Amino acid sequence: MHLIRVAAAVLNQTPLAWDSNLAHILAAIEEARRQEASILCLPELCITGYGCEDAFHAAGTWQTACRVLDEIVPHTRGLVVSVGLPLLFNNAQYNTACLIADGHILGFTAKRFLAGDGIHYEPRWFKPWPAGRRAEITLSGRTFPLGDLHYQVSGVKIGFEICEDAWVANRPGGELATLGADIILNPSASHFAFGKIDVRRRFVLEGSRAFNLSYVYANLLGNEAGRIIYDGGALVASAGTLLAAGPRFSFADYHVTTATIDIDATRMTQARTGSFRPDYEEPANCVSGTCDFPTIDPRDEPIAQAAWETSPWIKQEEFTRAIALALFDYERKSRSRGFVVSLSGGADSAAVSALVAMGVRLGVQELGRERFLQKLTYWPEIQTAADERAIIGQKLTCVYQSTRNSGDVTRQAARAVATSLGAVFVELDVDPLVQGYVGRVEQALGRSLSWRSDDLALQNIQARARAPSVWLLANLRGALLLATSNRSEAAVGYATMDGDTAGGLSPIAGIDKAFIRGWLRWLEEHGPSGLGPWPEVAAVNAQAPTAELRPQAAHQTDEADLMPYELLDAIERAAIRDKRAPLEVYKLVRLQFAHYEPRQTAAWVERFFRLWSRNQWKRERYAPSFHVDDENLDPKTWCRWPILSGSFERELADLRAYVDREA
């Protein structure tokens, strides 16, 4: 047996936060050493942070990264460590992994396949490195190899697949296997999306099986740069067997996952594989180095997996933990002193408030009160909070703002939500403000405004009148105002700009209304593993969603204004995610929602497309939102659409003609 202990670290980094990023890297190196690991894989671009955006175009970014690398190197004595950073070579910039062995830089392996779809935009900043090519780069007066490199360190062959390299059909691992690679390191910045962990596990396991080697996968963790959430989840596999899986959605700055691999075992697996054909010529892109790999004993290392990972409600669990962690990271990295939520008594604002509170409960549960509050040292007042509930009381302020059209049901529901969470509850009557605006405009126009002729304007002024007060409260507290719009409403523009969209962050704008309602019912009955149910949300769940902007006698509901939310979400997925024309969408949803009358369904489909086309300007102005699935409508990162367009006029005419014939 030739046993080596390998490690993968997940790091909660921040773009261009050089000192804290360095501190996390060095802490992970020391933790790997404490766990007696010999080889450590750190995440992609971990020195700079992955989400630097156009700061990658600044020479100072890669130059500072190189200086930080020099600070890391002395701490790697006795270890082999891979560290990610950008490098400029021949006036092109590359995304590289630097392999350091026993305090000496061996070389820089450059990423071959760049992620350029969805939320990733790597081709804007980097160039892909061509297969099989090697060059030399001079840094601080020293020359190092750069390119499509693999390494031989004290007889152990190590190669790289850098994030996207492993997601493509012709992944580099196949070539590395023919060269006799023993270990593939995968430094990644792989964003969270529902169910994506299963895909990662498959390519790690399949890579280790098909290539007959050991595979070490490291990822980023937390809300790194604002929109993207990284779930961590380090993985180690060997010859098709998963040896270790790290925790996901941790509130820690870093986490190191280790496993013991047997180099002799994977080599003999290759030897026994009839289809294996080695490359007999040692290529020029192999770099040699030395490091003392100590003799270690075999260990029985069962894979520890959190209970929630096998829950039948895995999507609800992932959503809870992803958004709770993202909110906490956003708060501390922006140095905000808590959050303010305009709590209407409805589903969306209740969900946002609950997620803030869960960030406290999950964080304290994992780290303990002291370590949790250490992450908020810029905020002296919160340091005296004695327990979870007291911390939530400092962090979360919920504001119910009533007009003459507000009812006791929503008022009591809002109070119950805030009280049960431990939040500060503030109630404001903004009706005098609304009537003041209405009166001034009536005087200017020389006529009275009425619900018959001025419905939409009278609704919107109520929503907008609420914004100044809640912004004032947020400013007074140094807090972050959270907007509460969801993706379904964003799709059709069912929101008042500068009213209910007011806020610096819109945490649930990436998730549909039907899911939010189901998630709240799940919270009422079950709740996250380790936290339990939240029965007080029953007062919210019992209501039909309503904006409460028309007089009570109008019995306003969101679905009456729009269409049933489940139908709206089905239309949105077919139209926007799957890019289907109105007639195709109609045919699909007719099968799925056959209980609705055909002309009514067609009218709802037409309403969706018209509202979608007219409201791109609103989506462009939404506060930043979190990416949680690949159905996002965020125009900055995922779903680009023209602000002005033909509004599907011809396509909708085709739909109407088809329905007429069908009738």
97 DSSP β-pair partners: 84, 109
Residue 298 belongs to some domain of the structure = no
Q: Are 332 and 379 in contact (CB under 8 A)?
A: no
Q: Are 151 and 97 in contact (CB under 8 A)?
A: no
Q: Assess whether 206 and 339 both reside in one domain.
A: no
Pairing of strands 221-223, 229-231: antiparallel
Q: Assess whether 483 and 613 both reside in one domain.
A: no
In this model, does residue 343 exceed pLDDT 90? yes
654 HSE (CA, 13 A, CB side): 11
Residue 375 belongs to some domain of the structure = yes
User: Could you tell me which of 173, 302, 327, 165 has the C-alpha nearest to residue 244?
Assistant: 302
Final residue before a domain boundary, out of 522, 552, 582: 552
DSSP-derived secondary structure for 391-402? HHHHHEEEEEEE
- How far apart, in whole angstroms, are the C-alpha atoms of residue 482 and residue 328? 13
What integer is the mean pLDDT of 129-150? Answer: 96
Give one word for 232, left, alpha or beta, with left for phi > 0 and alpha for psi -120 to 50.
left
Q: Assess whether 229 and 349 both reside in one domain.
A: no
**Local confidence band at 276 (pLDDT 50, 70, 90 cut-offs):** low
150 DSSP β-pair partners: 286
Q: Are 341 and 482 in contact (CB under 8 A)?
A: yes
**Local confidence band at 399 (pLDDT 50, 70, 90 cut-offs):** very high
The predicted structure's pLDDT at residue 240? 95
The predicted structure's pLDDT at residue 405? 86
**Local confidence band at 53 (pLDDT 50, 70, 90 cut-offs):** very high
Final residue before a domain boundary, out of 552, 585, 613: 552
**Local confidence band at 287 (pLDDT 50, 70, 90 cut-offs):** very high
CATH number, domain at 652?
3.40.50.620
Residue 302 belongs to some domain of the structure = no
User: Could you tell me which of 29, 272, 284, 297 has the C-alpha nearest to residue 152?
Assistant: 284
- How far apart, in whole angstroms, are the C-alpha atoms of residue 607 and residue 601? 10
- Helix, strand or coil for residue 142? strand
**Local confidence band at 295 (pLDDT 50, 70, 90 cut-offs):** confident
% residues pLDDT > 90 (the chain) = 88
**Local confidence band at 137 (pLDDT 50, 70, 90 cut-offs):** very high
The predicted structure's pLDDT at residue 116? 92
Q: Are 532 and 362 in contact (CB under 8 A)?
A: no
User: Could you tell me which of 499, 509, 500, 504 has the C-alpha nearest to residue 481?
Assistant: 504
- How far apart, in whole angstroms, are the C-alpha atoms of residue 642 and residue 613? 8
Q: Assess whether 593 and 525 both reside in one domain.
A: no
- Domain range holding 607? 563-663
Q: Assess whether 251 and 365 both reside in one domain.
A: no
**Local confidence band at 570 (pLDDT 50, 70, 90 cut-offs):** very high
Final residue before a domain boundary, out of 529, 552, 575: 552
Q: Assess whether 537 and 576 both reside in one domain.
A: no
Residue 257 gets which letter from DSSP?
E
Q: Assess whether 547 and 573 both reside in one domain.
A: no
- How far apart, in whole angstroms, are the C-alpha atoms of residue 639 and residue 634? 6
CATH number, domain at 16?
3.60.110.10
Pairing of strands 286-289, 150-153: parallel
- SS3 labels along 476-503: HHCCEEECCCCHHHHHHCCCCCCCCCCC
Residue 546 belongs to some domain of the structure = yes
Q: Assess whether 400 and 454 both reside in one domain.
A: yes
Q: What is the pTM of this model?
A: 0.95
256 DSSP β-pair partners: 9
Q: Assess whether 280 and 374 both reside in one domain.
A: no
% residues pLDDT > 70 (the chain) = 98
Count the domains in the chain: 3
Residue 69 belongs to some domain of the structure = yes
Residue 297 belongs to some domain of the structure = no
Tell me the per-residue pLDDT of 518-559, one tens digit each, with 9 for 90 and over.
999 999 999 999 999 999 999 999 988 876 667 877 778 878
In this model, does residue 192 exceed pLDDT 80? yes
Residue 595 belongs to some domain of the structure = yes
452 HSE (CA, 13 A, CB side): 1
CA 258 to chain centre: 25
- How far apart, in whole angstroms, are the C-alpha atoms of residue 450 and residue 553? 15
- How far apart, in whole angstroms, are the C-alpha atoms of residue 166 and residue 105? 24
Residue 432's alpha-carbon distances to 43, 71, 419, 453, in angstroms, are 55, 61, 27, 22
Pairing of strands 214-218, 221-223: unpaired
CA-angle at 163, arms to 291 and 329, nearest 5° = 100
The predicted structure's pLDDT at residue 549? 67
Least confident piece of the model among 148-162, 210-224, 549-563? 549-563
Residue 410 belongs to some domain of the structure = yes
Q: Assess whether 318 and 225 both reside in one domain.
A: no
The predicted structure's pLDDT at residue 608? 97
What integer is the mean pLDDT of 20-43? Answer: 98
**Local confidence band at 296 (pLDDT 50, 70, 90 cut-offs):** confident
98 DSSP β-pair partners: 83, 108
Q: Assess whether 256 and 326 both reside in one domain.
A: no
Tell me the per-residue pLDDT of 311-342, one tens digit each, with 9 for 90 and over.
999 999 999 999 999 999 999 999 999 999 99
Q: Assess whether 569 and 548 both reside in one domain.
A: no
Tell me the per-residue pLDDT of 437-488, one tens digit each, with 9 for 90 and over.
999 999 999 999 999 999 999 999 999 999 999 999 999 999 999 999 999 9
